[in-house]
Amino acid sequence: MNDLDVLKVFCAADGSHGNPLGVVRNGRTCPDDASRAELATRLGFSETVFVDDPERGVVDIWTPPGQRMAFAGHPLVGTAWLLDIEELVVPAGEVWARNDGEFSWITARAEWAVGRRLVQYADPAQVDELPAPPPGEGWLYAWAWEDEAAGRVRARGFPRRPCLDEDEATGAAAIALTAELGRALNITQGAGSQILTAPGPGGVVELGGRVRFAPAGSYGDAQWRPYGDPYAD
């Protein structure tokens, strides 16, 4: 589909890694819940965003196998970067956004980042050695300090859903961990994605990372090219 952008959100400094995100700029091409659930499942990303009002920033987030999400971190960081917009509107509420040149940021309430169990491990090696997914049920965010004084964290995220064994970079879980620890964090998650956070007043957390266009290709049975990338062939 020619209005589908695929981004990498929370990339490393060299542009590698990052969590894939599908963004459908014209939500009218998938006008109902059934078509959105079907496309999100076909693409197979942890989330796909449908832009319903690009001027007001109204977006609709879906995850396989067909569930609407009230809030999710990496989809909103990526969409804010793509649309170059200062506010996004999701069922959870209004999300402020900004871009400082290298990083794109959103500000969200920690209470929106629910449903993930945070488990601290003794060291990064224990996190790295976990199978994908580890035994058990429910969303697991496994983390350990790499450098506690510097706020550096090693983490991996396991949704334990049939369609997704491990999530490469998870904004909502990073928000929840930041709120629990009460300090700014520099998180390396998955294969090498980077997530930055900072707590704010009144239970808000700022979440940031690098965003890039993903190379043209195919996911599931959906073919795509970088629709919004001015450097695409």
9 shares a domain with 82: yes
pLDDT band at 164 (very low <50, low <70, confident <90, very high): confident
Residue 146 belongs to what domain range? 112-209
Using 50, 70 and 90 to split pLDDT, how confident is the model at 2?
low
- Does residue 197 sit in the same domain as residue 132? yes
Q: How many domains does the chain have?
A: 2
Query: In terms of domains, do 158 and 173 share one?
Result: yes
- Cα R_g (the chain), whole angstroms: 17
8 A C-beta contact, residue 94 and residue 101: no
Amino acid letter, 192:
G
One DSSP character per residue, 141-169 reads EEEEEEETTTTEEEEEEE--BTTBS-BS-
Same domain, 166 and 178: yes
Work out the burial of residue 55: count CB atoms within 10 Å of its CB; fewer than 13 is exposed, 13-18 middle, 19 or more buried.
exposed
* 214, pLDDT greater than 50: yes
pTM, two decimals, is 0.92
The pLDDT assigned to 233 comes to: 33
Q: How confident is the model at residue 231 (pLDDT cuts 50, 70, 90)?
A: very low
125 and 93 in a single domain? The answer is no
Q: Report d(CA 148, CA 49) in Å as an integer.
A: 34
Same domain membership, residue 205 and residue 121: yes
